[in-house]
Structure formats: structure tokens, C-alpha cells
Amino acid sequence: MNETKQVPITEDEAFDNKINFLGRWTSILAILAMLMVPCVVTLVFEIQVNLSQAIPIAIGLISMFAPMAIVENFSYYPIIGAGGVYLSCITGNIMNMKLPCALSGMSIAGVEPGSRKGDIISILAVAVSSLVTTAILFISMLAIGQFLAPVLSNPILQPGFANILPALMGAVAVPFVIRSPRLSVFPIILCLVMYLCPIGKTVFFSPYYQSYTMLGVMLLSVAAAYFMHKQGLLK
């Protein structure tokens, strides 16, 4: 009888298998823990749930946030790797905190996003960011929350807080633009045209449709990059 030979897996494959195994189970446990909060509150306070009202609201929220979640996972994976995506999705605040920390860590370590070393640095950076963020929030809540509230609500500082996200996204985008200027031309021009058109702010960049806008820009950017590669415009 012919015996089938088992092909030994490489270290990279073993690493990916462990990351996916831990990521799947920790994600499932996190989802169950999140769902337990409303369930326990409903049972303890004996709240009557009207499904005829809850289901339409849930469908509306899912239709708005589900595409964004799918697009974000696909867009973050090439940058911070599978481990970084699993950990970031569980701890949250990806765009404002986890992604900039991971990119900063990879830049300091001198590794490229998407590489094996980059994935490891990304996991460490996201983990440290999660621990530091949790510690700061806990300390602020217990000790200095009442002292920080007047400072954070100061009208002079409000313009700065209102522009935190654009500042972070600019800091994240600039290195990629400098590294690949030809690839960056099309998505930048496309987003500017969509933003400046009459319905740009109310449709393309509204909170209800921005996930679909992001998906469309991603697909068109990939198509443009493929066309430029075929035309020999990319080295």
C-alpha cells in the first residue's frame, strides 16, 4: 500500500495557524461577552423586549456598520497582519489608536508592513497600545476624570479635538504617498472629486454611506493600479 507522505509545515505556516486559532476563539469569546451585557441587563431589570421594534432597528444598524467592518478588515490586513487585525477588532479604536501605533512601531523597528517581522511588531504594538489605553482610561475614570472634564470641554481646545482624526489619517497616509507616489495619484484625485462634487458631503462621505464609498474607492484604486502595471507605468 502506498503511504501518503505528510508535507511538513514551515515556521511561517505554523505561526499563521496559531494566530488564526487564537484569533478565532478569542473573537468568539469577545462576541459572547459583549452579547451577555444586554442579556444580563434585560434579565436583571426585567425589561420587556419588543421584537417588532428591535429587529428593524437592528437591521438598520447592521446594514450601516457591516459593510464598514468588512472593508476595514480587508484594508487593515495587508498593513498590520492577521494578529494585529484580530487584536485590534477585539480591543477597538483601530483607526484612531491601533493602526497609528502599529505603523509607528514598524517604522521605528525598520520593517515593512506586510512582512513577517512587520506582523510581529504590529501584534506587540497593538497589544501595548491596548494595555496603555485601558490603564489610562481606568486611572482617568477613578482619579482625575473630574479634573480633566473642564479642560477637555474648554471651547479653546475643541477645534483641536475635532481635527484629531484628520491629523492621524494624514500622518498615516503621508508615508505611503511618499513611498508610492504614482499609486497614490488616482485615489487622491478620485476622493477630492467625490468630496468637492455637489453631493459629496451629503452622500459619499456621510456616516451612512462612507463604508460603501471606501469599498468603491478601494476597488477602483486596485483596478487603476492593475492598469498602470500593465501599461508599464509602475516600476
> Please, are residues 65 and 6 in contact by the beta-carbon 8 Å criterion?
no
The DSSP letter of residue 9 is P
> What pLDDT, on the 0 to 100 scale, is given for residue 143?
67
Supply 132's cell numbers: 496603555
> What pLDDT, on the 0 to 100 scale, is given for residue 13?
84
Q: How far apart are CA 9 and CA 5, in angstroms?
A: 12
Mean pLDDT of all residues in 64-84? 82
Question: 4 pLDDT band (50/70/90 cuts)?
Answer: low
What are 173-198's pLDDT values in tens digits? 787 788 788 888 898 898 888 888 88
Residue 211 has pLDDT above 80, yes or no: no
Q: How far apart are CA 165 and CA 95, in angstroms?
A: 8
> What pLDDT, on the 0 to 100 scale, is given for residue 3?
55
Residue 203 has pLDDT above 60, yes or no: yes
> What pLDDT, on the 0 to 100 scale, is given for residue 212?
76
- What is the reported pTM? 0.67
Mean pLDDT of all residues in 132-157? 76
**Mean pLDDT, rounded, of the chain:** 82
Residue 1 has pLDDT above 70, yes or no: no
> What pLDDT, on the 0 to 100 scale, is given for residue 125?
93
Higher pLDDT, 45 or 208: 45
Q: How far apart are CA 80 and CA 129, in angstroms?
A: 14
Q: How far apart are CA 83 and CA 88, in angstroms?
A: 8
Residue 23, classed as helix, strand or coil, is: helix
Phi-psi label, residue 111: left if phi above 0, alpha if psi -120 to 50, beta otherwise: beta
Question: 126 pLDDT band (50/70/90 cuts)?
Answer: very high
